[in-house]
Amino acid sequence: MTEHEKMEGAGGNKVARPQAMLVLLTMAYCLAYVDRLMMAVVAEQVKAEFGLSDKQLFLLTGAAFVLIYGACGIFSGWLLDRSSRRKIVAGSLWLWSIFTMACAMAGNFWHLAIARAGVGAGESAIVPAALSLISDSYPPRRRPLAMGIFYAGGMVGILIAWVVGGWIAHGMGWRWAFLLAGPPGILLGLVIWFRGGEMPRAAVAPASASPNSTFHDVWRNRPLMWLITAGSVITFVNIGLINLMGSFFIRSHGMTVRDVGLVFGPVMAAGMVLGLIGGGWIGNRLANRGTAILIRFSMWNCLAMFPLYMGIFLAEELWLALLFTFLGTISSVLYSPSFSAAYQAVSAAHTRGTAAGISNFASALIGGALATFLVGALSDHLRPEHGADSLRLAMMAGMVTCLIAAALFHIACRKVMRERPELLHG
């Protein structure tokens, strides 16, 4: 009997079937990406209207969202280990959708930054909720593909944001793009609240667990901490760079906002969907050989990203840059289902939500905010000498994160092999 069946039999409420739950979570993640990426889609229009520098612009696309997203993610993960996950997911949908529409009302940089922070606070619960629910509802050998399907929902959101959002922003202005992005999330939140069934609660901490808190239990888990650190560094490629790539193609290849939406958006979204579903399929098969092999796969994947992304920045022709973008985006998320399944396997059952929240915070702080801000600052520094190419050069420098992450995954693998030998076999 699975954990899900045990929980369904033990409680009086109807527990959502894993497949139905996965569909709802995937739809929510799709809308989350639409709302979070809308700022990147309209970035050049907002920069022109408010007269922003690259540092200010990338604070809006990066830190203003991801710092609050990450910080609130820790609290969300802790709360998900203790409360009704269905209500938390529905409430978070309403919160981020309302603040997305509030972005349309911004009168200056600070108004927009505050609204973006509200979007980040609302979205902070969705990934910890999904990963912990999938881990509680699917056996280890089926988790990577389920996680890949969930993550692929976000990549569909990328397509919608760039194509539909870019079309709306080009024809009606950037404020309408934000205003129309919010209502679908409010409707989905109502569906989850009233029709979603009771999503399984987290496992109760065993008597032998730390009496202090789940945070303490996560901190003491050294293999888990190394894994989270590695994942946070490589996040720059699949989160931070997404927020910069539209501006890169506009500046370096002369594309318009509409061109970026119609061409770049589908290329990136298709690459990421293929990467996540394919990565989930690979992960399901690797999981039969234990957790360590999932971590090794993540390490080699990080190394493969480096030449592919350098190809994007070095390509002179637009078609070649787009080809490398397609291949690069496949590689940038191929590891993700294996990584997520690995750190959830390394986590104790009663700390899975908290671990996911801490992972989100670390990824937001390091990969999403700090690295993105440094790239923006470097671009500003290089602009007097290199002009439009300053962003290209700054993004190339940011690719060192691939090499750092690969080294950290190697250390994490050694820690798992030494301290958690029971995870070496499927």
Give the tokens for residue 95.
């919160």
Cβ(228)–Cβ(70) below 8 Å? no
Residue 272: its pLDDT value, please? Answer: 84
Cβ(34)–Cβ(83) below 8 Å? no
Task: Write phi, then psi, for 15 (nearest 5 degrees).
Answer: -90, 135
Q: With a cut of 60, say whether residue 210 has pLDDT above it.
A: no
Please count the other Cβ atoms lying within 10 Å of the Cβ belonging to residue 395: 26
Per-residue pLDDT averaged across 358-374, rounded?
81
Please count the other Cβ atoms lying within 10 Å of the Cβ belonging to residue 407: 14
| Predicted confidence band of residue 11 (pLDDT cuts 50, 70, 90) | very low
Least confident of 121-130, 365-374, 391-400: 365-374
pLDDT in tens, 168-184: 998 899 999 999 999 99
Q: How far apart are CA 321 and CA 277, in angstroms?
A: 23
Cα 176 to Cα 243, 278, 288, 413: the distances in Å are 20, 35, 48, 47
Q: With a cut of 60, say whether residue 14 has pLDDT above it.
A: no
Question: Measured on CA atoms in the order 160, 166, 172, 173, is the torsion positive or negative?
Answer: positive
Q: Which residues contact 284 (CB under 8 A, 6 or more apart)?
A: 141, 142, 143, 144, 145
Higher-pLDDT residue of 79, 35: 35
Residue 312: its pLDDT value, please? Answer: 93
Angle at CA of residue 134, ends 131 and 136, nearest 5°: 110
Q: Considering the domain 17-203+212-423, what is its CATH architecture?
A: Up-down Bundle (1.20)
| Predicted confidence band of residue 331 (pLDDT cuts 50, 70, 90) | very high
Q: Residue 192: in which H helix or E strand, if any?
A: helix 183-195
Residue 197: its pLDDT value, please? Answer: 58
Residue 104: its pLDDT value, please? Answer: 93
Per-residue pLDDT averaged across 85-110, rounded?
91
Domain assignments of the chain as residue spans, ordered by start? 17-203+212-423
- Residue whose structure tokens are 């994160």: 401
Higher-pLDDT residue of 259, 297: 297
Higher-pLDDT residue of 183, 84: 183
Least confident of 13-22, 205-214, 243-252, 269-278: 205-214
Residue 317, by phi and psi: left (phi above 0), alpha (psi -120 to 50) or beta? beta
Cα 194 to Cα 27, 96, 197: the distances in Å are 16, 19, 8
Burial of 148 (0-12, 13-18, 19+ CB in 10 A): buried
What is the end-to-end Cα distance of the chain in Å, rounded?
A: 18
pLDDT cut 70: percent of the chain above it: 90
Give the tokens for residue 222.
């050294």
Higher-pLDDT residue of 201, 259: 259
The per-residue pLDDT of the chain, averaged, comes to: 84
The residues with which 198 forms a beta bridge, in sequence order, are 15
Specify the 3-state DSSP secondary structure of 182. Answer: coil
Cβ(71)–Cβ(148) below 8 Å? no
Residue 4: its pLDDT value, please? Answer: 44
Residue 16: its pLDDT value, please? Answer: 60
Cβ(247)–Cβ(379) below 8 Å? no
Strands (E), 300-351: none
| Predicted confidence band of residue 205 (pLDDT cuts 50, 70, 90) | low
Residue 376, by phi and psi: left (phi above 0), alpha (psi -120 to 50) or beta? alpha
Q: With a cut of 60, say whether residue 212 has pLDDT above it.
A: no
Q: How far apart are CA 67 and CA 177, in angstroms?
A: 23
How many residues are recorded in the chain? 426
What does DSSP assign to residue 239? I
Instruction: List helix spans (H) across 54-173.
Output: 54-58, 64-80, 85-103, 109-123, 126-137, 143-160, 166-172
pLDDT in tens, 119-175: 989 998 888 888 888 888 888 888 889 988 998 898 889 889 888 998 899 889 999
Per-residue pLDDT averaged across 79-97, rounded?
85
Residue 139: its pLDDT value, please? Answer: 84
| Predicted confidence band of residue 203 (pLDDT cuts 50, 70, 90) | low
Give the tokens for residue 47.
């920069």
Burial of 32 (0-12, 13-18, 19+ CB in 10 A): buried
| Predicted confidence band of residue 7 (pLDDT cuts 50, 70, 90) | very low
Task: Write phi, then psi, for 184 (nearest 5 degrees).
Answer: -60, -35
Per-residue pLDDT averaged across 93-111, rounded?
93
Q: With a cut of 50, say whether residue 6 has pLDDT above it.
A: no
Residue 206: its pLDDT value, please? Answer: 56
pLDDT in tens, 19-68: 888 999 999 999 999 998 898 888 888 888 888 887 787 777 766 777 78
Burial of 404 (0-12, 13-18, 19+ CB in 10 A): middle
